[in-house]
Every structure is written in C-alpha cells, then in structure tokens.
Amino acid sequence: MSPTSATSARPLHSQGERPAQEAGIAGSVRGFASRVRAGDIGSLPIVIGLVLIWGIIQGLNSSFLSSRNLVNLATQCAADGVIAVGVVLVLLVAQIDLSVGSMSGVASAVLGIGLTSAGWPLPLAIVLALAMGALVGLVYAVIFVRFNVPSFVVTLAGLLALLGLQLQILGKHGSINLPFGSAIVGFMQRMFVPAGLSYVLGALAVALFIGSRLARARRRRAAHLPSGSAVTLFVKAGLLLVGLEFGCWYLNMTRGVSLPFMLLVVLVMIVDFLLKRTKWGRSVYAVGGSVEAARRAGIKLWRVYISVFVLCSTLAALGGLMSAGRLSAASISSGTGDTNLNAIAAAVIGGTSLFGGRGNAYSALLGIVVIESIANGLTLLSLTSAVRFMITGGVLMIAVIVDSMARRSRAAHGAA
Amino acid sequence: MQQANAPVLQQATPALTLRGVSKSFGAVRALANVDLDLRRGEVTALLGDNGAGKSTLVKILSGVHPADAGVIEFDGNEVSITSPTAARDLGIATVYQDLALCDNLDVVANLFLGREHGTLLLSEEAMEERALELLHQLSAKIPSVRTAVAALSGGQRQTVAIARSLVGEPSVVILDEPTAALGVEQTAEVLNLIEKLRDRGHAVMLITHNMADVHAVADTAVVLRLGRNNGVYSLADATAEEIVAAITGATDNTVTRRAARRPRHPSTDRPTNPEPTGEATP
C-alpha cells in the first residue's frame, strides 16, 4: 500500500518526531488524562459542573429536566449566548469588552424605536442596529490601538456612554412594546425546527463531521503524516449521532428545537471553524499567546484587534436584538442587570482563559447553558434574584479559580 | 581602517556586506563606521563588551532601526533595510534572545506564524510535513510537532526558534545569545544546530559572550568596541587572549592578569592545572 511504503521510505516519524498521540480509543483516553494532569483542562470542569448542577436541581425539582423546561432553557440561552461568542473572541486576544450589555441595550432600543415611532421596515432596523455595533467596536479598537488605553477602561467608558445613548434613544418612552406580529418576535418566540427536519439536521451534522475528518485523514496520508484511527473516528461520530438525535427526540416531545438556539449553535460552529482553520484565527490565538511574538512574526496587530472588537460589539448588538424579540419589548432596562455579567461569565465558565490565547467558541455555548441552567433552576425552585446572583457569582468565582489553577499547573509542568 | 579590518577569508563573495555603517541615538554614537562581512557556509561571531554596539547592529540588520549612514550590500547589491518585513523578504532571519514564541500554539503553528501555508484555509498538512522535514534536517529532538511550545524544554524552544528562522530559507541567520539561558547539555545541542546551519549553506552570525562557544563553532570573530570595529580574527590562528584583548581594548586587563597568574602548558598554550600542593587533597 502506498501510505505504508511512503512512511517507511521517509522514517521521519520513527525518530523522536512522532506525534505523541497514541493509536486507538484507549490511547486517546490516556492522552486526554495526561493533558488534564498537565493543566490543559479545556472544557472538562465545565462538563462535570454542568452534570452536577443539573443533578442537584433535578433532585430538588423534578420538572427541571422535563422536555418543556429544556425547550425553554435552550431558547433562554440564545441571546446571551450570541453575546458570549463575541466575548470569547475578545478574551482570546487577552482583552475584555465590559460594554456588551449596554451595546445590546442600545441595539434593542434602536429596534424598538425603529419599528414603532420611526416606522422602519424590520431589515433596516436590524442592519442599522448591527452597523451601530460594528461602529462601536471599531471606535474601541482604534482607541485601544492608537492610544494604548487598556481595553478594560475603554469599554468601561463605553458602557456608560452606551447606557446614556440607550436612554437618549428611548427618550420619554422608557419602554416600547414591539409589534407582536413582527417577524423578529415570531422568530424568537414561536419558531421551532420541524421535528423531522431536526433529525435530518442532526444526521447531517454528524455526516459533516465524518466527512471533514476523513478529508483531513486523506490529506494527512497524502502528506505522509500519520492519520489517526478510523475506529476512534466512527466511535466518536456514533456517540455524537446518538447524543444529537436523542436531544432532538427529547425536545421534540414538546415544542422542539427553537430557531434562536439553532442560530446560536450555527454561529458557534462558524466562529469555531474560522478560529481553527483560517490565518485570521491563527493570528487571534497568536496575539493572545504573545503580543511580541505576533508582532515580530509580521502579524498586523491592529487588524486583529479591530476585527475582534468589531465582531464582539456586532454580536452584542445581535444578542440585544434577539432578547428584544424574545421579550417583544425594548426598555431602559434592556441589557442592564445581568446581561453583561452573564455573557462575560459564560465565556469564562465555558473554559476561555482570562489570560488570553486559550479557549474556543464552544465555551460560549457551554458556559451560557450553565448560567441559564442555574437561573432557570433557581426560578423553578422559587428562589429570588438575590440568591440567583449570589450563586451565579459563586460559580463564576469557581471558574476563574479553576482557570488560574490550571495556569499554575501548566507552569509547574513547565508549560506556561 | 581598511588594513585593520581586511577580511581574513576571501574565498567567496559575502552574502551580506556592511561598509561604514553608523547609528546614533540622540547624542549617543552607538555605531561608528562599522564594516562587516557575512559569508555563506561560515559562522561569524560578533563579539564585544556590553555597550559595544552588538545589539544595535543586530537591530539594523533585522530592520528594527534603520542605519544613519553607510552601505549595506546583499549579494553585491546595495539594499536598505527599513522594516522587519523588508529584512525577512531579503533573506535575513533573526533569532532573538527571548525567542518570541507563542506558548499556547503548537510547534507547527509557531514555525509558520505570520506566513502560514494556504490561501483561504490553513493547509495544516503542508505545514506539518515541512516542519517535520526542517526539524529532521536539524536532527532536532522534539516530542511532537503538535505539542504546545509551552511544554518544551529551553533547548527545544531554542530549536523551534532556529527552525522557524529557516522557514523562509534565508541566506543570513542571526542568532542573538542563543546559549545564554541554557545548560551544558542543551548548549551543546544548540552548537550542533549552528553547525547544521553552516553546513546548510547559511551565513550565520552568532552574537555571544561565551568564548567557549566562539571557539567551538565560529570561523571568524568580528570584535566591536565602543561602537567601532576592533579587529577581525580567524579562529584558526587567533588565540583567546588576542580576542579578549580586542574586546576589552587592552592587553593588560583583569582577564589577562588572571591568565598570567597561571602557568601555561608549552604545547597547548592553555593554562595548566596548578601543581598539587599536597595540602589540598581531592
């Protein structure tokens, strides 16, 4: 066979340069365990945490894991989850945007005024709100790059300015109800993936996964590189398929998979792809890892910062539009309160490091599911916002401690 | 000036030639009229005490600072090195002392940082194949090209940094204090790498304080003192004392006085061990 003969003709992999990954399922499990011990923990704590949280809440209130409640939970995740995706990007370059909540509030105010007193068509209102987000992100990035002001301060100032802008836009209204027949309200409140289609989409996602892995294995064989075991791939794909189809089936027992949640999932997949497979993504991680190394490698830092801040603010605006649609209202309290904290906490809880360079798009999804599970569960248990805030704060603190401990463990293993 | 700095070896056209290069920072004259030749397949050590202008020279060659005056010729053509990118495009690669690696990225990603293969999407396979090839040529011992650089030892990190400088197949490789932070074993590995670079036909410039490294791998030593040329030595003929004298600027200095206190072996011209006095038993 050509792959084997090619490998034996070029003995590169037998001379200490061989990838450390071991063959087979047992090998990948062992590799995972040793990565965890070395502090490369990824999303492991969050998965454990999520199982614990779901178990505890389910033990206290048996309707938590009911199909009806999980359908709600998924929809609740969508808006803040979209914002969290943007926060992940900013955290990856070791910066922060504290104004995502205010930005989402401004976007919802623009939508509210646009659809009612200004009488704009919905697409115009959406485009204007998103453009506003992009502009705000651009301003942040320019101030950050040009004047070297820490992003924490720039966006803190932005938080206040945007809050003022939101009050200004809403003016004397204070609160605006969106027309109930508006498409965005329908999208956020009443649109679900048809049951049959949801199974097809699940299968399609798995097919896409297998296809991309097989294509990669083929490219690696063509480049005389070890290509991993097909058995492991199909076991993973099988588990994924069972998980996805079971999830769809369970949600389909009541209303099914909501479109806003699908939007979040698709967005996460797209951002993940961009981060992992493009030069832009590579430069985002490089800047987060070492600004100086990235600069010397010829990466144009300002481009990376601008792209990341613009994406973050635009996604914050999109999240604001979604939450306005879900509440079918825009008010002076939109985007205030816990939106900001939820989105930032979700990114960190999901496993994106505050220190930059480590994390991925999926951490936004995982993190927001944890946060909304707590919020949803505590509401089911008839606990007040007071308790909810304290518990969410505690979970965030634990996540940050885990992040710092993992960092220290990497240092202890000579890997920080 | 010309006589004093006449190149010791004349066998090939230098890859890089500097003539009369000067650089001032405000009132401080960092470099004055410096000449330098770097030849392919040769290791040139750049020596000098602190403040001699070594770093300034490296920065001029790597495009961090432009020179105020003087001529830089690359393969006989006059060039101006205005930016790090310009230096890289010319074929001058610099390995900085702090290595400038991204700890969170794997070896392949670091090697190709800023010049990834692939147009729309990264072509990881092409990069990984090339990375393995480069590391193989350097006989480098890296556990896996997919481990994060954070998990590598000091010597391995130095190897990655040197391998990265070769990605663009440069004519000139500048190594800034490559062994400064390394132990004995890892220093030997890096010296092996430097010889590999020489054998690959690169013109290597080695900046170091370590005379043992100079004697181990360099063919020529260029000494700077207070921003001026202070001699070019062929390592085949020059003694360590001559070079140290050129670095410190005097034949009578702490280093030579120390050496003079110890008797020399007649054939090797090296300090012999002091005679056993009997009272100090091993």
Q: How far apart are CA B69 and CA A210, in angstroms?
A: 61
Q: Pairing mode, if any, of strands B203-207 and B220-225?
A: unpaired
My answer on whether A200 and A105 are in the same domain is no
User: Is A365 a domain residue?
Assistant: yes
**What is the nearest CA distance from A158 to chain B, expressed in angstroms?**
30
Q: What's the whole-number mean pLDDT along residues B58-69?
A: 89
Chain A residues close to B116, C-beta within 8 Å: 279, 282
**Residue A30 maps to a domain:** no
Which candidate, A91, A52, A39, A47, places its Cα nearest to that of A350? A47
Structure tokens at B235: 């390592």
Contacts of A16 in chain B (CB under 8 A): 141-143
CB contact under 8 A, B128 and A297: no
Residues A130 and A75 in one domain: yes
Q: Do residues A227 and A134 share a domain?
A: no
- Residue A223 has its nearest CB partner, among B105, B118, B128, at B128
Res. A309: pLDDT tops 90: yes
**Whether the predicted pLDDT of B131 surpasses 50:** yes
- A293 vs B100: CB contact, 8 Å cut-off? yes
What's residue B212's pLDDT? 87
A270 in any annotated domain: no
What residues pair up with A258 in beta bridges, in sequence order?
A: A192
Partner-chain contact A222 B118, CB within 8 Å: no
Q: What is the DSSP string of B230-244?
A: EEEEETTT--HHHHH
Q: Is A27 domain-assigned?
A: no
**Greatest Cα pair distance in chain B:** 76
Whether A294 sits inside 8 A of B142 (CB atoms) is no
Please tell me which of A28-37, B11-20, B169-178, B258-267 the model is most confident about, judged by mean pLDDT: B169-178
Same domain? A289 vs A304: yes
Q: Which of A212, A240, A257 is the last residue of a domain?
A: A257
pLDDT of residue A303: 96
Cβ-Cβ contacts under 8 Å for A130 (sequence gap 6 or more): A107, A314, A317, A318, A321
Chain A segment 266-285 residues within 8 A of B by beta carbon are: 277-279, 282-283, 285
Same domain assignment for residues A68 and A183: yes
pLDDT at A289: 93
In this structure, is residue A341 part of a structural domain?
yes
- CATH of residue A309's domain is 1.10.3470
- For chain A, give the mean pLDDT: 88
Report the residue of B125, B130, B142, B159 to disrupt the A interface, i.e. the one with the largest count of A CBs within 10 Å: B125
Q: Check whether B278 has a pLDDT greater than 50.
A: no
What is the per-residue pLDDT for A61? 92
| Mean pLDDT, rounded, for A241-262 | 95
Nearest to B105 among A20, A277, A286 (CB): A286
Instruction: Report yes or no: A224 and B129 within 8 Å, Cβ to Cβ.
Output: yes
Q: Are residues A137 and A247 in the same domain?
A: no
* Whole-angstrom distance, CA of residue A266 vs CA of residue B52: 59
Ranked by mean pLDDT, which of A23-37, A378-392, B37-51, B264-278 comes out on top? B37-51
A310: left (phi over 0), alpha (psi -120 to 50) or beta: alpha
Q: Which of A12, A34, A279, A291 to mutate to test the interface with B (most CBs of B within 10 A)?
A: A279
Is there a single domain that holds both residue A204 and residue A346? Answer: no
Q: Are A182 and A314 within one domain? A: yes
- Check pLDDT > 50 for residue B216: yes
Give the integer Cα–Cα distance in Å for B241 and B250: 10
Residue numbers in A near B135 (CB within 8 A): 17
Residues on chain A touching B151 (C-beta within 8 angstroms) = 38, 413-415
Count of domains for chain A = 2
SS3 A351: coil
pLDDT-based confidence at residue A2 (cuts at 50, 70, 90) = very low
Please give the residue range of the domain that contains residue A217: 192-257
- The identity of residue B25, as a single letter, is F
> Are A183 and A202 found together in one domain?
no
pLDDT at residue number B255: 67
pLDDT digit string, tens, across residues B239-252? 888 888 888 877 66
Closest by Cα among A102, A108, A144 to A307: A144
Instruction: Name all domains of chain B by residue range, CATH numbers in brackets.
Output: 16-238 (3.40.50.300)
Q: Look at residue B266 and tell me whether its pLDDT is greater than 70.
A: no
3-state DSSP assignment of residue B72: strand
Binned at pLDDT 50, 70 and 90, residue B270 comes out as low
Q: What is the pTM of this model?
A: 0.85
Confidence tier at A88 by pLDDT (50, 70, 90) = very high
CB within 8 Å: A17 and B136: yes
Dist. CA A2–CA B38, nearest whole Å: 45
Residues A72 and A214 in one domain: no
pLDDT, tens digit, 9 for 90 and up, residues A112-140: 999 999 999 999 999 999 999 999 999 99
- A215 with A339, same domain: the answer is no
Please indicate, yes or no, whether residues A291 and A304 belong to a single structural domain of this protein: yes
Side-chain-side CA neighbours of B137 within 13 Å: the count stands at 19
Residue A187, in any domain of the structure? yes
A10, closest residue in chain B (CA to CA) = B133
Over residues A38-47, the mean pLDDT reads: 70
- Of A243, A241, A247, the residue nearest A209 (C-alpha): A241
Work out the percent of chain A whose per-residue pLDDT is above 70.
90
